[in-house]
Amino acid sequence: MPRVIAITSEKGGVGKSTLAVHLTGAFHQRGLHAVLVDEDGRVGSSLRWARRSPPGAGVELAFPVLAPDDVRPKKLADADVVLIDTEGRPKRKELRRLATRADVILVPCGPGALELEATRELLDFLGGDGEAGRKARVVLTRVPPVGRAGEEARENLRDEGLTVCNTLVRHYAAYQKAAELGVLACNVRDARAETAWNDILTLSRELL
Ligand SMILES: Nc1ncnc2c1ncn2[C@@H]1O[C@H](COP(=O)(O)OP(=O)(O)OP(=O)(O)O)[C@@H](O)[C@H]1O
Ligand SMILES: [Mg+2]
């Protein structure tokens, strides 16, 4: 059975799709059979990302990005890891359902106070002691590369008993360029492209 990693958040625009596409790309680059399922019917952002990839240029996304309707058990059976990109601010019922399907619920969150508050609410709902709570992991994203905001947020959340990934995914323009071009950050022309990609590779190793 593949390891299922669902990416969700209480707020929109925190970096779910960016993380979903890049993590799937990192698993793929490491030789794992990785599949991305885009369950954000509203925007379909990962699917759109894949569609923007320039065909034939050698930089298109090299892993399958599926719409929920295209998911067949057979397509996922031989996958090592399945990532699920979801809509921001999911309904409680959907969140519960997601928690039963996933092995890990990854909650990206910026280091700002409001996002941290929203993340605490989400993890509160998932419950610290229950199975869903145990599956939940916060990952700090869009962390300013300068200063200690990411480290401080990570330590504070940990002090409150939350599980937080060690890797901080820092804020780099390479991710925005990658989204615009429909490629991965490692394939954009940018001085920080490799640094950005290394954050993702490190995070992928923490997860599988
Ligand atoms: N680590 C990062 N560094 C710089 N920019 C980032 C980073 N992560 C995300 N972004 C940018 O933040 C914006 C929102 O990212 P993204 O679309 O991944 O969020 P989302 O949580 O999927 O949003 P939605 O809730 O609308 O689906 C995009 O412009 C994206 O390029
Ligand atoms: Mg999204």
C-beta separation of 89 from 16 below 8 A: no
> Residues within 5 Å of ion ligand 2 by Cβ?
16-17, 45
Alpha-carbon span 133 to 124, nearest angstrom: 8
57 or 204: which leads in pLDDT: 204
Average pLDDT over residues 62-80: 91
The set of protein residues with a Cβ atom below 6 angstroms from ligand 1 is: 9, 12-18, 40, 43, 45, 88, 141-142, 169, 171-172, 175-176, 179
pLDDT tens, residue by residue, 88-100: 888 999 999 999 9
Domain count, the chain: 1
Identify the CATH number of the domain in which residue 137 sits. Answer: 3.40.50.300
What confidence score (pLDDT) does residue 45 get?
Answer: 86
| Mean pLDDT for the chain overall | 94
Element housing 199 (H / E): helix 193-207
Of 11, 39, 50, residue with least CA distance to 182: 50
43 or 161: which leads in pLDDT: 161
Portion of the chain with pLDDT greater than 70, in percent: 99
Output the six-digit token pair for 148: 């200690």
If one counts every other C-beta atom within 10 angstroms of the C-beta of residue 80, the result is 16
Taking CA atoms only, the protein residue closest to ligand 1 atom 15 is 15
Ligand 1, atom nearest to 89 Cα? 25
- Residue 103, domain extent: 3-207
CA 54–ligand 2 middle distance (angstroms): 21
pLDDT tens, residue by residue, 185-198: 999 999 999 999 99
Average pLDDT over residues 59-84: 92
- The conformational region for residue 21 under phi > 0 = left, psi -120 to 50 = alpha, else beta, is alpha
Q: How confident is the model at residue 203 (pLDDT cuts 50, 70, 90)?
A: very high
Look up residue 145 and give its amino acid. Answer: P
CA 85–ligand 1 middle distance (angstroms): 12
Ligand 1, atom nearest to 14 Cα? 21
Measured CA distances, 123 to 56, 94, 207 (Å): 42, 14, 18
Q: How confident is the model at residue 151 (pLDDT cuts 50, 70, 90)?
A: very high
Average pLDDT over residues 13-27: 97
Q: How confident is the model at residue 12 (pLDDT cuts 50, 70, 90)?
A: very high
Which residue stretches of 102-137 are H helix? 113-126, 131-135
DSSP state of 43: T
pLDDT tens, residue by residue, 116-146: 999 999 999 998 668 899 999 999 999 999 9
Three-state secondary structure call for residue 187 = helix
